[in-house]
Structure 1
Amino acid sequence: MKKMLKGLGAALCVALPFIAQAPADAAAPSATGAADQTLVQRGAYLAQLGDCAACHTAPKGKPFAGGLPMNTPMGRIYVTNITPDARTGIGGYTEADFARALREGVAKDGHNLYPAMPYPSYAKVDDDDVKALYAFFMHGVAPVQQANRESDIKWPLNMRWPLMFWNMAFLEKGAYRDKPGKDVAWNRGAYLVQGLGHCGSCHTPRGVAFQESALDESGSAFLSGALLDGWFASNLTGEHNTGLGRWSDEDLRTFLKTGANRHASAFGAMTSVINNSTQAMSDQDVAAVSTYLKSLPPVGGTGAAAYTYDPQATKVSLDRPANDAGARVYTAYCMHCHGVDGHGFAPMLAPLAGNPNVLAKDASSLINVTLNGTGDLVIDGVPSPFPMPGFAAVLDDQQIADVLSFVRTGWNNGAPAVGAAEVAKLRQSTQAGR
């Protein structure tokens, strides 16, 4: 929320192998009665809350047929076919099989799923919602015969059996239970954020075993921001500078529904979260998520004083761009969208002054989006008219470092400078295979 990014938060929002075997000519899902169709429709909504399509649908691929590559610390994996095709999808899964894979990370044939699949979050999904999701994937999704692709992870890291011990150490079984003393909206928001929304998968730091450092608000690291696949998924706590401390409830609701507000715009993996998931949330659920997130105390951040806007020094520098390499690049390539005052033209064009992503200690997201741009936000079927373009082919590493250092110190942002070596490293990792 995910990625904010986007992605949030490249997010790792991955739902991994649900694998089954059956005939290539598997029939279309059977017709369902009126009561069952209501369940299917509810499951479709829940699948949107879980953003299943973003991970299980490859670019230009068929819905939920898999094939999307995902990078992990161990190597590249490919998300799997979760259509009801019985040979290559999950058509042979019973509801119990489905529930076990979803909440425990164990496939029908007994092999363990990589924890890139956010089953530690989905473990909190209750039985009624599991039933509705199963109904949707069996009766609301068209079967697609598309074989799953093996991961690129080399032996011995590709062995699955050690994951049993990972689950013993890090998987907390049991559906979410309402917290006493909290109202209905708070508990609904906690259920969505911690469960189907699996926000912690991207926004919570991970330990040495790739486990989330916390699974709910009882852990101090929960949703405090995390580096993931070349992006830094934003801090979602009440931290003033890099989190949601300056965001009103309306700001957060607007971001979840449209991907942009007066503080920031979605990019990276968070773009797909907005496109496929949060914009489809009911107003009641958006309000619940906002209620929960806005209740989280401030954690993380840089320890800097509370941000206050000051344009004077930056304005002077832009009046004399020849004296500053970063200002020269900004004047030539950035100023027409983001403005002399750094306010941009929010929400269509993101502000840079006081933007939580600009103020973050880790500049990975800024480097990545400057190099590679971001995908279109598509709200109610209408693409954003001003997506961020990539400058990898236009600016060299030093120029990008210069302009980002200028932005991170401009308008009283006070964030650390960016080095050319940081840019070169992300250029190499994100441009590979393009």
Structure 2
Amino acid sequence: MSLATRRFSATAAAAVAGTISAFARRPLLGAAAAFAALLLAPCLAAAADAPGAAQIERGRYLAKVANCAACHTSPGGAPFAGGLPLKTGVGTVYSTNITPDAESGIGAYTFEEFDRALREGVAKHGKRLYPAMPYPSYARLAEPDVQALYAYLRTEVKAVRQETAEPEMRWPFGMRWLLRVWNWLFLETGPARNDASQSAAWNRGAYLVQAVAHCGACHTPRGALMAEKGLDERSRHFLAGASVEGWASTNLRGDPRTGLGSWSREDIAEYLHTGRNAHATSFGPMSEVIASSTQFMSRPDLDAVAVYLKSVPGARSDETPYVYEAGTADMLAQGRFDATGARQYAEFCMPCHGANGKGFARVFPPLAGNPTVVDPDPSSLANLLLDGAVTAHVGTAATDYHMPGYGWTLDNQELANVLTFIRTGWGNRASPVTEGAVAARRAELDRRRDTAERR
């Protein structure tokens, strides 16, 4: 039902109710009025329960920040109809249909059933959901926000009939009753904690990061049973970086080299809004998150997230601030390619990132001191050199930028050499990359391409 139709229905229902009330005051028409009231009662109740425009718009905004469409839309599929394969450490699950279709979606869900699925991981008829759906984070959502999401999905999203494929899990994880035990061990119910000692902006940022945007689902390492090792800043594991489907998700804590210690609040807000800042340019899954979600966040919410993230201390106590070293730049500027990987860097990387490794701000990211470059897990860098990348498609930029992949022309050892050169140059001092690590990434990327083509 469109917004205009809902307004008309509510107005019409009010007018009919007033007419019935007027007739009811006339004795000869009292019985007819009562009979009419019985007939119109369902219509009046529906009009009274219809969500308002403000609530629906709030739900639309929350769905953007939570990036619901990204996980609940398969490539080439209808929005929110599900079917996207989500790979976990114990198998593959497929996102569910959350359109208002009564048979395969949430059209027959009451609010209470929707709320239980979202915040407790229990679908209609008691079916347990796998925590690939981030209900451990959504457990902290405030009920008015859950109501707004329910109103938006039920009234503004087009209903699509599409059944959800069965998960492909390793034994014994296909037995859903185990999720009851998992929830007992790891699910913390109740709204997000409000810290009275912090500012309103900090508390808003904590709520967005921990609950709505569920940043920890990707940026927090998981234990043996696939539960996040921390759910808020009180845990040193929270937002400390993790591995997600072959990508190294960045450390979002205050570590000076591998985290956001050198970023200002303005840097964080700019990156989430535009996909670029003086320190980095988005790539891989984060480009998708920015394009479909964080670029639409309001300025106060972007600032709140930045306030919160800058308050989270570093996780690595022995990490020292990055200090630029000019030796690599001098060697390249002089045309000396003695170091292993230097020649490949000069040929394939230096035209964009420069001999000094500083790139061009907000276009080609710096490699010197970049947290992604010095991440202990080099998987993301290997993916970039193998397959290339694209920046986030955002409304603030005239175009997005593509980095070409070099897997077609460089072998695994050559790629490992240039990655090691980048990770150890300009003062980065990160660990070298082995040929085996690149080979593993190449094999995984090839396997995923083959799987996608078969579909």
TM-score, structure 1 length as denominator?
0.90
| Alignment counterpart, residue 287 of structure 1, candidates 293, 298, 303 | 303
| Alignment counterpart, residue 6 of structure 2, candidates 8, 15, 32 | 32
| Alignment counterpart, residue 261 of structure 1, candidates 241, 253, 277 | 277
Structure 1, 339-348 or 54-63: larger mean CA deviation: 54-63
Partner SS, residue 32 of structure 1 = helix
RMSD of Structure 2 on Structure 1 (CA): 1.9
Structure with more helix by fraction: 2
- Corresponding residue number in structure 2 for 1:66: 82
CA distance in 2, matches of 1:157, 1:392: 36
Q: How do residues 194-209 of structure 1 correspond to structure 2 at under 5 angstroms?
A: 194-209=210-225
- Corresponding residue number in structure 2 for 1:42: 58
| Max Rg structure | 2
| Alignment counterpart, residue 431 of structure 2, candidates 413, 416, 434 | 416
CA distance in 1, matches of 2:175, 2:336: 56
Q: Does 1:341 align with 2:315?
A: no
Which portions of structure 1, spanning 4 or more consecutive aligned residues, are displaced by more than 6 angstroms?
A: 27-30
Partner SS, residue 432 of structure 1 = helix
- Corresponding residue number in structure 2 for 1:229: 245
User: Is the Cα–Cα contact under 8 Å of residues 72 and 83 in structure 2 kept in the other structure?
Assistant: yes
Distance 1:46 1:282, change over 3 A: same
**Residue 176 of structure 1, CA deviation:** 1.3
Partner SS, residue 195 of structure 1 = helix
- Corresponding residue number in structure 1 for 2:168: 152
CA distance in 2, matches of 1:228, 1:385: 24
Alignment deviations for residues 75-105 of structure 1 (CA, whole Å, 9 cap, x no partner): 2222121111112211111111111111001
Alignment deviations for residues 192-243 of structure 1 (CA, whole Å, 9 cap, x no partner): 0000110111111111111111101111111111122111111111111111
Q: How do residues 341-420 of structure 1 correspond to structure 2 at under 5 angstroms?
A: 341-380=356-395, 384-420=399-435
**Residue 399 of structure 1, CA deviation:** 1.1
Partner SS, residue 70 of structure 2 = helix
CA distance in 2, matches of 1:142, 1:237: 39
**Residue 320 of structure 1, CA deviation:** 3.6
Tell me the amino acid that sits aligned with residue 189 of structure 1. G
- Corresponding residue number in structure 1 for 2:320: 305
- Corresponding residue number in structure 2 for 1:173: 189
Alignment deviations for residues 357-387 of structure 1 (CA, whole Å, 9 cap, x no partner): 1111111111122212224411118574322
CA distance in 1, matches of 2:146, 2:408: 46
**Residue 308 of structure 1, CA deviation:** 0.9
CA distance in 1, matches of 2:71, 2:398: 20
CA distance in 2, matches of 1:316, 1:293: 37
Partner SS, residue 92 of structure 2 = strand
Q: Does 1:115 align with 2:89?
A: no
Partner SS, residue 276 of structure 2 = coil
Percent identity over the alignment is: 48
Partner SS, residue 232 of structure 1 = strand
- Corresponding residue number in structure 2 for 1:183: 199
User: Is the Cα–Cα contact under 8 Å of residues 123 and 195 in structure 1 kept in the other structure?
Assistant: yes
Distance 1:386 1:395, change over 3 A: same
| Alignment counterpart, residue 294 of structure 2, candidates 255, 278, 296 | 278
Partner SS, residue 358 of structure 1 = coil
- Corresponding residue number in structure 2 for 1:96: 112
- Corresponding residue number in structure 2 for 1:79: 95
User: Is the Cα–Cα contact under 8 Å of residues 105 and 113 in structure 1 kept in the other structure?
Assistant: yes
Tell me the amino acid that sits aligned with residue 418 of structure 2. V
Partner SS, residue 342 of structure 2 = helix
Structure 1, 424-433 or 255-264: larger mean CA deviation: 424-433
User: Is the Cα–Cα contact under 8 Å of residues 29 and 84 in structure 1 kept in the other structure?
Assistant: no
Distance 1:421 1:321, change over 3 A: farther
Partner SS, residue 77 of structure 1 = strand
**Residue 321 of structure 1, CA deviation:** 4.8
User: Is the Cα–Cα contact under 8 Å of residues 321 and 331 in structure 1 kept in the other structure?
Assistant: no
User: Is the Cα–Cα contact under 8 Å of residues 43 and 133 in structure 1 kept in the other structure?
Assistant: yes
**Residue 155 of structure 1, CA deviation:** 4.5
**Residue 304 of structure 1, CA deviation:** 4.3
User: Is the Cα–Cα contact under 8 Å of residues 341 and 417 in structure 2 kept in the other structure?
Assistant: yes
CA distance in 2, matches of 1:358, 1:326: 15
CA distance in 2, matches of 1:144, 1:321: 61
Unaligned runs of 5+ in 1: 1-26
Aligned residues: 407
| Alignment counterpart, residue 328 of structure 1, candidates 334, 340, 343 | 343
Distance 1:371 1:127, change over 3 A: same
**Residue 55 of structure 1, CA deviation:** 0.8
User: Is the Cα–Cα contact under 8 Å of residues 29 and 143 in structure 1 kept in the other structure?
Assistant: no
